[in-house]
Structure 1
């Protein structure tokens, strides 16, 4: 299947939390995958495939999760391109935004991995925070509680029914005890990601980002902190600079999809988190998942 004029396709790339043991293993049997795994090992000093096939606990460490996801998603994107597939729009959730930038050719594979490696190191060293996912909650009540607290933010606005809050453990626990929600699930992360508590890590990372050249994107990108289509490299860099401390506005990204006449979305990477969210928000959009080479072949 190749893109026709009637089909407008968005590729979306998942972030931390979508990793699974064994992900990407079959990609080593492709020439693109083999080359990129070897290049990644030179940049990282460790093997993506070893971590992917190791203990779940180790794979779930930010230090390893983020580079593993980026490399595997980049390979899947390249395999789709090799098949003649091209998106009309891209977006990624948190770490997935780096994969989206790579797919849009804002930077090359090595540059993206170097950035992701440093991002993972800085985020991994940021400790003392807590993140909790809330499902089927009272949004008005939650907004009020957050506005009255300087120690909690809305980190991921994933959908009308699901958000993630981030902040100090005490303040997050206090909000969880007050808000009406069907479920509250603590995330396995060491820091208060996508909050002002990441400002020190973000400042250090900004100096790295500013030294990198971003080219104009081949297709529009919807960014986490500003979900409006953009292609200019400098604009996209500015948006990425704010990403570590800013909220992931995924609900608004999904709202943009029909506005941009997107009628098919392919989630490129492990799991089905993003297509699950889009299915509820945009029921008229057809959804595909590409998490391994077999799924690439049937696209």
Structure 2
């Protein structure tokens, strides 16, 4: 049997029109209705609107969570199971839902509050960096205050985060091939998010976490875990801690995973997995057509 991992995308994977085809299913109709009751606005209307609005943190994060959760439900309905879950930043919430640690409503309420706090953040800067000497980057991060390595996506792509002055100083001090400023309001996954993280932790502590039914690999500590308290603590650390995606990919290989399924819009994560784990079977699961093709090929497997 193929040992499969489900991975869930984060902010940056949003696409206009995503999730609209899912409305053909009863599961999606119910989830969209529940989401509108919680959020006070329509996921579908937002996804059918303009990219500029959809790409605002306040809307992007709930939309991605809900669509990933629906796709998870549809995979389960077809008898599909995964041996391990992981998500990139926001995607960790969908991973925890898929693992049975959070219920749908609790997860969405957390994502809504997270999005509000991150949308309100200001005074920070994030830049994606490609083509660099890793030792030089690490040395610069250690030497320059108020800048961190926020996302370690693969060996040749990272994201740095911090105060604008510190980020610019790092970029000026290290030879790189390409840099792309991210359209975000704050220095996400850095200590500059400490105040927002503290506010969010108070909400997080009030939510019931259950032991995961399958292991979840967290962003800040890329080792598989099922214990509810451990997973909750790791999620608390996420807003100020790094996304260690490269190490997550390596952990999947160490666990004997043979196929990675990206459960959500786009193919960002499978692209990153491909760079770190060549030879891994990769599958996108963002549409009903993807689901139909996957299940008609008898690809659903149950691996403990």
**Shorter-chain-normalised TM-score: which range?**
over 0.9
Contact 2:144 2:170 (8 Å CA) reproduced: no
Matches of 1:130 and 1:53, distance apart in 2: 29
Write the distance in 1 (CA, Å) between the matches of 2:213 and 2:291.
21
Verify the 8 A CA contact 2:6 2:263 in the aligned structure 1. Answer: yes
Aligned counterpart in structure 2 of residue 83 of structure 1, from 78, 89, 97: 78
Question: What do the CA deviations read for 1:24-73 (whole angstroms, capped 9, x no partner)?
Answer: 11111110111000100000000001111111111111100000000000
Distance 2:151 2:43 in 1: 27
1:124: which partner in 2? 119
Q: Which of residues 159, 167, 170 in structure 2 aligns to 1:175?
A: 170
Range with greater deviation from structure 2 (85-94 or 141-150): 141-150
Q: Could you say which residue in structure 2 is the equivalent of 1:199?
A: 194
- Whether 2:228 is the aligned partner of 1:233: answer yes
Does 2:33 correspond to 1:30? no
- Alpha-carbon distance between aligned partners in 2 of 1:242 and 1:100, rounded to the nearest angstrom: 16
Q: Is 2:244 the partner of 1:249?
A: yes
Alignment: residue pair count: 294
Task: Work out the CA distance in 2 between the residues paired with 1:175 and 1:271.
Answer: 31
Cα distance, 1:134 vs structure 2: 0.3
Deviations 1:53-106 (A, max 9, x none): 111111111100000000000001111111110000000000000000000010
Rounded Cα–Cα distance in structure 1 between residues aligned with 2:172 and 2:71: 41
> Which of residues 125, 131, 135 is equivalent to 2:130?
135
Q: Give the drift of 1:160.
A: 0.6
In structure 1, the partner of 2:206 is 211
TM-score by length of 2: 0.96
Q: Which residue of 1 aligns with 2:287?
A: 292
User: For structure 2, which runs of at least 5 residues remain unmatched after alignment?
Assistant: 295-304
Equivalent residue for 1:53, pick from 24, 31, 48 = 48
1:101-146 per-position Cα deviation (integer Å, ceiling 9, x unaligned): 0000101100000000000001110111110000111111111111
- Superimposed CA distance per residue, residues 118-177 of structure 1 (whole angstroms, 9 cap, x where no aligned partner): 000011101111100001111111111110111100000111110000011111112112
Q: 2: distance between equivalents of 1:222 and 1:295?
A: 25
- Which secondary structure state, in structure 1, belongs to the residue aligned with residue 219 of structure 2? coil
Output the TM-score relative to the length of structure 1. Answer: 0.97
What's 2:9 paired with?
14
The aligned residue for residue 3 of structure 1 is none
Does 1:115 pair with 2:110?
A: yes
Question: What secondary structure does 1:184 align onto?
Answer: strand
- The two structures, once aligned, show a CA RMSD in angstroms of 0.7
Structure 2 distance, partners of 1:7, 1:37, is 32
Q: Secondary structure, in 3 states, of the residue corresponding to 1:158? A: strand
Q: How many angstroms does 1:16 deviate by?
A: 0.4
Which runs of 5 or more structure 1 residues have no equivalent in the other structure? 1-5
**What is the distance in 2 between the residues matched to 1:11 and 1:160?**
22
- How far, CA to CA, are the matches of 2:118 and 2:168 in structure 1? 22
